[in-house]
Structure 1
Amino acid sequence: MAMLAELFRNLRGLGRVPARRWRGTLGVAGWALVSGFIIPPQAATPATAATSLPAPADGQLTPNSRRAYAEVLKLRLGPARELLRLELASTPTAPAPLLVANCADFVELVVSQDARRFSELEEAQEARLAALDKAPASALRDYARAEITLHLGLSQLLFQHLVMGGYHLRSGYHQMQNVVQRYPAFAPARKTLGVCEFAVGSLPEGYHWLLRLLGFTANVDTGLKNLALAAAQPNDFQTESQIYQSLIRESYYKKPEDCLRLTERLVAQQPDNLLFAYLMMSVSKRQHNGEAALAAYRARPTGAGYLPVPYLHHMAADLLLYKGDYAASERENLAFLRDFKGLHYRKDAAFKLYLAAWLGGQPVVSVGRYREQINRPGPSDVEEDNYAQHYYHEAQALNPILTRARLQCDGGYNQQALITLRSFRVSPTMLWRDRIEEPYRRARAFQGLGRLDSAWFYFERTQTVAGPKAPYYFAPQAALQQGYMAQNVGKNAQARFYFEKALRYPWHEYKNSTDAKAKLALRELR
């Protein structure tokens, strides 16, 4: 399933957690199955160019399983399971219904992160593997076994069962390699292997010890080629392959056009698909189009049959915070904290509740209560939670002007951000952090407005004020953005200079993800 990429993506994006302390809770955004994975077939760089595969001799889902899989993609798990019930009863070792049933369970675990459901669904995954062992060998049987093994391993890692999770992850990865070798024309296996290869190949250096321990070797270029093959070849999982592919280009290579077109097409074709509505919301949010993201949230399908996705409330809370609707943002985050069964993004939600209360002028008691919630026991593996926890321990007051401007830029309200920044004044007692952030906020606002000369000037100023060792993300992010700007106009030598400069900065809140993006950009320049 598409969630595979999100699990790996969040491992790459872990915050300030040394590799030796990695716990296996990969910090998936509750449901965020697709925060980083779609792409339609494209005439791409050599790394993504596809050649056609010969038609496979077998390996298609049954018509009933295909209908159930379509329901899983809509996040309508109840109807999907009902469709599968009779088929599983009549053909208990058939790979198609077993695979789709496992996809439904895996989606539920990753979206809900409900520990109370883990044991039951873990046993069901193991039972499906045992049933597949009794089925005759085929491309679909071997693919289903490898895919379910990966699902099982990732589920175990998510709930901190590290030994068995690592074992199954390694086993599933090598099984999928064998499926591709034995059935080279079977496109679905190239989809999953491609996602794994890209994810493993782009992990930060701090996790290479883990890869060696698990016996993983991978190359991002090989992964992208396999994904391109799966996306171009008609098969039951072609749409999923296209989603993975376009989100990689959008999230890691800053090339969002294909992803936006694909997402718009999918939503138009299936307005009743909650996953596609989420994709539209997520991509629009990352592209700083807050109004489009809010429109997707409000138009999302709801009702009986859909899997509850509390993380959508957290995303909406962010969007409303950008817009300055602080009361509505507070309500959405409170709904998220009430309904979500997992542990991640709780610190981030508390931080955003604090911002909404503070910027909205609530009483000091309410503001302080939300701030203290940040420090409640819980993991800070993902960067958003890590940032919130770092803010709490740093105990330095935020600048209200810069905070408002940052939120406005995040939502794409760039002209309003520049108006907000007009009232900013440097004082002798001002924090060094705020002196660095001010030109960075101006740069991002000008960049969002397409005024690239002004953006470049303020990105340079950010790095001048910060120097080479400031422990904040503003300067390395400024260098990363300048690298993208130079790359977009074909100035590859200049782009390389700035990508390498971004890598040289010491620890900051977003170093893992910043470094991963800079390294992928450098690889593309080669």
Structure 2
Amino acid sequence: MIVNCKKIVSLLLLLISSVTASANFSYNARCMEAYNAIFSLKLNEARALIREEKQQNPQNGITVLLDSYVDFFTVLTSDSKNEYEKLKARRSARIDALDGNDKSSPYYLFSQAEVYMQCGLLKGKFGDYMSSANDLKKARNMLRDNMKKYPDFLPSLKSIALIDVVFGALPSSMKSVASFLGMKGNIQTGVNQLEKLRLQIGNTKYSFFKDEVIFFLCYMDIDVLHNKDNYAKLSGYLADMDDKSLLRGYLQGYVASKTAHNDEAIKHLEKLPKGGPYTPLPAVNYLLGNAKLCRMDSDANVFLARYINEYKGMNFIKDSYLKLAYFYLLRGDEAKYQYYLKLVRARGYTVDEKDKQALKEANDSRPDVDLLKARLYFDGGYYAKALAELKDEKVNSFKIPRDKMEFYYRLGRVYERLNKQDEAVANYQKTINMGKGATYYYAANAALSIGSIYEKRRDNKRAASYYKQAIDMKNHEYEKSIEMQAEEGLDRVGK
């Protein structure tokens, strides 16, 4: 009887060990294909490949990670609150599933950290800041532990660098929360690490992560560092991505539009693949409508209206209605201008700064048409056309103080981009003198711009003085964004 018990125990131990051994993290060919499909925004194709892998290798923990990637990009492309809630609800089950997998794999801690990080990034996007910080803290701790155990596992560096940027980019009002949680970051350190990793990862077995590194680098450079002069560099990075990728084409258009290469933006966005295997991407219509408006194209309204009709999220609806109002104002259609102004007030949300600004503009005095044209031409990088709208104007020809300060501000912006820095500073200073107590963003952004000009001249004392002026101005449009950029400037000049 004792012998039989021993045999049973041995058999049970053998069965348990065989089940444990079957749990694994295998980034095999099918999983890599699913990952590549995700970064081409072929999410349904990715889902099918993940289902197939689960059927063939039900213990492969990489499928759990890939499911999280699919949900992450589903939320990013749709801005859907419902999809966001689904992702949050699935997080704990995914962590549990990964925690029960092969603890000896470098993907064990990494995959859990990725789930926490992806959820944390989206929580930040939807305003759940404390929970976002907690998730990102868990992710960073896991990634650091993973780096100690597996120092040659390069994917950990990607995510550590990204979290470093996120916490470095927090506005001062949020840094106290992060500090309470023991979380600090540095934007430039994180970006430098991503730049280094982009070169380092290409000739390794982790080279399939390169598109993800490029994706984050583009957004960091444009949305966090606010670089306007890196179009050629970022375009070179994007050239390395799959030329059939919707994400690559979108990023090409996004980078071009944000760096004032408007014609290139329109070219990239108009030739994007649509339908079929590709995930709907309403943001393309928003970008394209704005780019065409800056070029004064006659069909800009088509794409702005399409964005409003197809988009199911909360951002840029008011802004799109305002752009439609301006489209018709520039064409002298008073009835449609007034119609769309009413829709700015009645529809959409005020979560994003652009939508807050759109509502304020809709409730403000009618814009001066010449200043509006100069603004749009400037945003598209058509600096000569913008200057032509301004050069024959006289400040006293404008009837309200807002337009007078905007006139000087627009001149400063154009001269700065035309490398006429002294003229830029002179007009920015006039903007500050007129508008430092106003609720418009012109004066604060003018101070920020002068700070940047002096920083480039390595006059750190003057740069710091203007960055501090930008921070000291309160209760104006885009206050958080301008304050954050000024704080970053102060960090760079060491003041």
Give TM-score scaled by structure 2 length. 0.85
1:39-438 counterparts in 2 under 5 A?
61-118=27-84, 120-137=86-103, 138-155=105-122, 168-212=135-179, 216-220=183-187, 222-224=189-191, 226-234=193-201, 235=206, 236-245=208-217, 247-253=219-225, 255=227, 260-267=232-239, 270-325=242-297, 327-364=298-335, 366-376=336-346, 378-393=348-363, 395-427=364-396, 430-438=399-407
Deviation at 1:61, TM superposition (A): 2.8
Residue 524 of structure 1 aligns to which amino acid in structure 2?
R
Q: Shift in Å at residue 125 of structure 1?
A: 4.4
Which whole-Å CA distance do the structure 1 matches of 2:415 and 2:134 have between them? Answer: 49
Alpha-carbon offset, residue 195 of structure 1: 1.3
Structure 1 runs not aligned, ≥5 long: 1-57
For the structure 1 residues 461 and 166, does the alpha-carbon distance in structure 2 shift closer, same or farther, using more than 3 Å as the test?
closer
Q: Contact conserved, 1:247 with 1:259, CA < 8 A, in 2?
A: no
Task: For CA contacts below 8 A with separation 6 or more, give which structure has more relative contact order.
Answer: 1
Aligned-partner Cα distance in 2 for 1:214–1:339: 39
Counterpart-to-counterpart distance in 1, 2:130 and 2:117? 14
| Paired position in structure 1 for 2:459 | 491
CA 1:518–1:324: 2 relative to 1, 3 Å: same
- Over alpha carbons, which structure has the higher Rg? 2
Equivalent position SS for 2:315 = coil
In structure 2, distance between residues paired with 1:246 and 1:119: 27
Which amino acid in the other structure matches residue 432 of structure 2?
Q
Distance (Å, rounded) in 1 between the aligned partners of 2:225 and 2:307 = 31
Q: Indicate the structure with greater helix content.
A: 2
| Aligned CA distance change for structure 1 residues 493 and 122 (closer, same or farther; 3 Å) | closer
Q: Aligned letter for 2:47? A: R
Q: Which sections of structure 2, spanning at least 5 residues, go unmatched?
A: 1-23
Give the Å deviation of 1:297.
0.8
Distance 2:317 2:222 in 1: 26
SS in 2 for 1:353: helix
CA distance in 2, matches of 1:453, 1:422: 17
Deviation at 1:423, TM superposition (A): 4.6
Q: Distance in 2 between matches of 1:136 and 1:329?
A: 53
CA shift for structure 1 position 333 = 1.0
Name the residue aligned to 1:500.
468
**TM-score of the superposed pair, with normalisation by structure 1:** 0.80
Amino acid at match of 1:499: Y
8 Å contact from structure 2 (residues 257, 380) kept in 1: yes
**Residue type of the partner of 1:345?**
F
Q: Which amino acid aligns with 2:212?
A: E
Residue deviations 1:380-399 (CA, integer Å, cap 9, x gap): 12110110122234x32211
Please tell me whether the aligned partners of residues 252 and 520 of structure 1 are also in contact (alpha carbons under 8 angstroms): no
Structure 2 distance, partners of 1:378, 1:255, is: 30
Q: Which amino acid aligns with 2:464?
A: R
Cα displacement (A) at 1:346 = 0.9
SS of the residue corresponding to residue 328 of structure 2 reads helix
TM-fit CA distance, 1:130: 2.7
Aligned length: 465
Distance 1:173 1:488 in 2: 34
* Counterpart in the other structure of 1:7: none
